[in-house]
């Protein structure tokens, strides 16, 4: 019950890694706000774990502020923020995931807003609440794209590199106010975000040749690290950028 009496917001909590993270918080006694722009899926998840669903487009500051306000109004405090919502290859029908030369400027803006500005805005509105109550923990979900050169989705990569950099400066700014900030960099994880390529021979070859453990991760394997970072067990872990990738960026 490591999250007993704790309140957590998980953005993108309706699917994949976010959903597993919500389940983990609830399992360990936490009260969870499942925040997602897919409200139907968020409601389903919230019903399953006894949490609260909030509809939010994390790229919109006023909606992000309302998300934080709703958490505090309903549960009286906010201890944990997991900035997990993001778009990647599964959104490529809507936003082009490509090299910088091939990425339309509007798509670049949208990807940066959803993946990176969102983290800044959620922190902007959550941190004062956490500081006011004596502290809290923030876990940002970036990607190994943010720490290693991986081709094919340059705006996505830039947004994830931005999350890594933002984590570091947040860690410096808020340490003495009791807010710990860390970053998880998932590698290839079998979630709806990449389900379109899971059977692709090129993808399977990449998994075999590039991932030392020889398989994609499972969403609960990312959630486990996020939950550790959010918990008091990680009380001296701060400003850490942690790859969870089966060894892909080890070479
Ligand atoms: P997913 O697609 O299963 O889940 C993402 C969730 O975020 C969805 O529920 C979606 O509705 C929500 N979301 C997307 N944009 C949103 C917005 N603007 N406002 C609110 N909610 C929004 O994907 P996942 O694999 O669980 O991804 C979680 C995080 O992990 C993402 O930030 C992703 O970039 C990162 N990541 C994933 C992988 C991977 O291989 N799956 C690898 C590296 C990093």
Residue nearest to atom 12 of ligand 1 (CA): 12
Q: How far, in Å, from the CA of 46 to the mean position of ligand 1?
A: 17
Summarize pLDDT for 53-69 with one digit per residue, the tens: 999 999 999 999 999 99
Whether the CA torsion 222, 32, 39, 62 is positive or negative: it is negative
Rounded percentage of the chain residues whose pLDDT exceeds 90: 92
Catalytic sites, residue numbers = 156
The chain-wide mean pLDDT, for the chain, equals: 97
Pocket flag, ligand 1, residue 159 (CB < 6 Å): no
CA 114-85-250 angle, 5° bins: 105
- Helices 16-27 and 219-230, interaxial angle, to 10°? 50
Q: How far, in Å, from the CA of 231 to the mean position of ligand 1?
A: 22
| 3-class DSSP assignment, residue 85 | coil
Model pLDDT, residue 24: 98
Q: How far, in Å, from the CA of 12 to the mean position of ligand 1?
A: 6
Confidence band for 198, pLDDT divided at 50, 70 and 90? confident
Model pLDDT, residue 150: 85
Q: Which of 112, 163, 191, 242 to mutate to test the pocket of ligand 1 (most atoms within 8 A of CB)?
A: 191
Pocket flag, ligand 1, residue 10 (CB < 6 Å): no
Model pLDDT, residue 195: 86
Model pLDDT, residue 211: 97
Q: How far, in Å, from the CA of 126 to the mean position of ligand 1?
A: 20
Q: Exposed, middle or buried: residue 101 (CB in 10 Å: 0-12, 13-18, 19+)? A: exposed
Pocket flag, ligand 1, residue 221 (CB < 6 Å): no
pLDDT (average), residues 127-154: 96
3-state percent breakdown (helix, strand, coil) of the chain, nearest 5: 50, 15, 30
Confidence band for 146, pLDDT divided at 50, 70 and 90? very high
Regarding pTM above 0.95, the answer is: yes
Confidence band for 128, pLDDT divided at 50, 70 and 90? very high
Q: Is 149 a residue whose pLDDT tops 90? A: no
Pocket flag, ligand 1, residue 188 (CB < 6 Å): yes
pLDDT (average), residues 169-191: 98
Confidence band for 47, pLDDT divided at 50, 70 and 90? very high
Q: Out of 35-44, 86-95, 108-117, 173-182, pick the least confident.
A: 86-95
pLDDT (average), residues 164-170: 98
List the beta strands (DSSP E) in the chain.
7-11, 31-36, 52-55, 80-83, 136-141, 179-186, 241-244
Confidence band for 231, pLDDT divided at 50, 70 and 90? very high
Residue nearest to atom 29 of ligand 1 (CA): 84
CA atoms of 166 and 171, how far apart (whole Å) = 8
CA atoms of 90 and 74, how far apart (whole Å) = 33
Model pLDDT, residue 78: 98
Summarize pLDDT for 58-114 with one digit per residue, the tens: 999 999 999 999 999 999 999 999 999 999 988 888 999 999 999 999 999 999 999
């Amino acid at each position: 019950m490591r999250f007993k009496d704790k309140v957590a917001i998980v953005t993108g909590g309706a699917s994949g890694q976010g959903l597993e993270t919500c389940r983990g918080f609830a399992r360990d006694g936490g009260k969870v706000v499942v925040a997602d722009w897919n409200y139907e899926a968020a409601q389903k998840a919230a019903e399953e774990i006894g949490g609260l669903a909030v509809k939010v487009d994390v790229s919109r500051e006023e909606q992000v502020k309302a998300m934080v306000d709703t958490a505090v109004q309903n549960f009286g405090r906010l201890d944990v923020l997991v900035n997990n919502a993001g778009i990647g290859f599964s959104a490529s029908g809507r936003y082009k995931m490509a090299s910088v030369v091939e990425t339309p400027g509007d798509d670049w803006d949208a990807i940066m807003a959803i993946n990176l500005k969102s983290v800044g805005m959620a922190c902007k509105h959550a941190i004062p609440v956490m500081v006011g109550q004596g502290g809290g923990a923030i876990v940002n979900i970036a990607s190994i794209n943010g720490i290693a050169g991986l081709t094919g989705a340059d705006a996505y990569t830039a947004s994830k590199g931005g999350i890594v950099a933002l984590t570091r400066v947040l860690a410096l700014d808020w340490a003495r106010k009791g807010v710990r900030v860390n970053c998880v960099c998932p590698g290839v994880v079998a979630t709806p975000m990449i389900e379109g390529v899971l059977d692709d021979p090129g993808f399977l070859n990449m998994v075999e040749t590039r991932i030392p453990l020889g398989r994609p991760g499972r969403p609960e394997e990312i959630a486990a690290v996020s939950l550790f970072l959010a918990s008091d067990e990680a009380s001296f872990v701060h400003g850490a950028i942690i790859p969870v990738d089966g060894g892909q960026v080890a070479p």
